[in-house]
Structure 1
């Protein structure tokens, strides 16, 4: 597995690449744009992979996703990937003002339409025909040429995971993932989707779907209790969302998650953290001292994302300075995660 992390900024990022970090990803929210962050990554690194993990799929047209990647490719050929996420129903409807229904079918077509632009050769029309997108572009300028940039889908539950296997090049796993969720739910669903699809739409025919994934990571040798508390709060914050109920049921965590949600409704962030059990913490996060974190990685060696793991500092109730400190501390784990490259 290649060691990666969310882009920690230029200073820490340069230090991280020198320490052996092989991939940086960019998310997005109301205050930061995925592609602008990837531009910062490629301008300030030399070899590491870079890409959104994830960009909101429906916030942009397929054309906009593809043109951003083409411009970035000019700076970082061979280093890019694209992770797309459907986003929550309310984000699509209320924030982005786009149709929110049928996200699985819509994102499957988004992959095909983005690829139509990425794979377009000079002189050829860019064509795609589907229910949600119809392209027939005659670009009379020498600006195209095929780009084989991997397209991944953020997939938590089985339908999206199967879709990632069927139409995309792989999957981006969530920070909540445990070993059993990877091995018993997500991987079988991705594999079933890959077997069902012939990859004739330009996917990586004949290859295993890629696995990228986030790993909640909080290491602080001077104050390990604080690191553990931050990891617990991050887990609790994620679990306030009912999208993850199948994951909760899979592990039999309904009772503690009910306490998490009750504390969240009451505005009790300390109560949210207390409701996260030790079983939940050890199954999901890598946290505590450096030694604790290395032990956790050893226990989870067979159940981490196979290709790229993004060792992500907690962000809920954690300021920029502490997140940067967690990113630097995580560099001590690089040697504990073999890089197949």
Structure 2
């Protein structure tokens, strides 16, 4: 596999490219836009792959997703991929004011409609008809031409993983993913989705890896990784993952602590087993040993070394990004 990272800013990015980082990714939230950050990435990198991982699929039309990628492709040809995710139901309803029932069916159509725009040739109508999406565009200006930009879907549970392989070019795995979740749940699902789609290709595997390395303060790095895991696990969507690993009791504890605002108790509820199976953290030596142990069962194509973000300052996240570059040294990437 090759390693990427969430966008660390132009200063760290230059050093990261030289160190062997193969991709940079960005995403959406209330204080940052996936495509604006992607434009910054395009302008400040030379050869790394670049893409949203993820952009909120339903916050924009397929036209808007494809147009942004088409414009950026002109500046970084052959370096882009597009990662789309459904986002939580309440985010779609309360933030965007859009419908998000039946998210798998909706995102499947969104991916296909985005691809219709990306594959559009000059002089041909762009047509797509589904239950949720309808396109019948006659673009007379000669500004199109087929772009084969990979479209990946964020998938946590098996049905979404199968959808990602069926209608997309692959999957983007969550930072919580463990070896057994990849091998026993996700990969069988993507195999099924590939068969359902009638594809001969192997779906791409990208995925986030919670990474916090600090030789001067390893205890703080470990605490930040624990807190990030705890924050993720407050979401009930991940209950099948929790049950798969037998972590119901500590997750119940951390959710109770979260409801009362007790972040210390929430962090402490994350067990050593959860930490070692999910995160790469501690000193450089400890993190490198964990990475070596887990290397064969991380996402096959791109693993994003991702610093914790929950209650972690931008300055500290940048420091984690920089320190994670040491993990690339003497690391075998088959």
1:77-133 CA-partner distances (Å, limit 9, x unpaired): 000000000000000000010002010000000011000000011010001011111
Match runs of 1:88-237 below 5 Å:
88-199=88-199, 206-237=200-231
- State whether residues 3 and 311 of structure 1, in contact with CA within 8 Å, keep that contact through their aligned partners in structure 2: yes
1:86 maps to 2:86: yes
- State whether residues 51 and 83 of structure 2, in contact with CA within 8 Å, keep that contact through their aligned partners in structure 1: yes
Aligned twin of 2:301: 307
Aligned twin of 2:282: 288
Aligned twin of 2:250: 256
Q: Distance in 1 between matches of 2:102 and 2:279?
A: 32
Q: Distance in 2 between matches of 1:337 and 1:269?
A: 34
SS at match of 1:142: coil
Displacement of 1:2: 1.1
- CA RMSD across the alignment: 0.8
Displacement of 1:335: 2.9
Displacement of 1:272: 0.8
SS at match of 2:285: helix
User: TM-score, normalised on structure 2?
Assistant: 0.99
Q: Distance in 2 between matches of 1:336 and 1:259?
A: 39
Higher deviation after alignment, 45-54 or 294-303: 294-303
1:109-168 CA-partner distances (Å, limit 9, x unpaired): 001100000001101000101111111111001100000000000000011001011110
User: CA separation of 1:180/1:61 partners in 2, compared to 1, >3 Å: closer, same or farther?
Assistant: same
Displacement of 1:339: 4.6
Q: Distance in 2 between matches of 1:279 and 1:47?
A: 38
- State whether residues 25 and 53 of structure 2, in contact with CA within 8 Å, keep that contact through their aligned partners in structure 1: yes
Q: Distance in 2 between matches of 1:2 and 1:117?
A: 29
Match runs of 1:233-248 below 5 Å:
233-248=227-242
- State whether residues 218 and 231 of structure 1, in contact with CA within 8 Å, keep that contact through their aligned partners in structure 2: yes
- State whether residues 86 and 107 of structure 2, in contact with CA within 8 Å, keep that contact through their aligned partners in structure 1: yes
Displacement of 1:338: 3.7
1:140-197 CA-partner distances (Å, limit 9, x unpaired): 0110000000000000001100101111000000000000000000111011010111
Q: Distance in 1 between matches of 2:137 and 2:256?
A: 52
Q: Distance in 1 between matches of 2:14 and 2:40?
A: 11
Aligned twin of 2:50: 50
Match runs of 1:319-330 below 5 Å:
319-330=313-324
Displacement of 1:336: 4.6
Aligned twin of 1:2: 2
Q: Is there any run of 5+ residues in structure 1 with no aligned partner, and where? A: 200-205
Q: Distance in 2 between matches of 1:117 and 1:161?
A: 24
SS at match of 2:295: coil
SS at match of 1:300: helix
User: CA separation of 1:195/1:47 partners in 2, compared to 1, >3 Å: closer, same or farther?
Assistant: same
SS at match of 2:74: helix
Higher deviation after alignment, 329-338 or 146-155: 329-338
Aligned twin of 2:61: 61
Match of 2:291 among 293, 297, 320: 297
1:291-336 CA-partner distances (Å, limit 9, x unpaired): 0011101111221000000000000110011101000000001135
- State whether residues 2 and 337 of structure 1, in contact with CA within 8 Å, keep that contact through their aligned partners in structure 2: no
- State whether residues 100 and 106 of structure 2, in contact with CA within 8 Å, keep that contact through their aligned partners in structure 1: no
SS at match of 2:78: coil
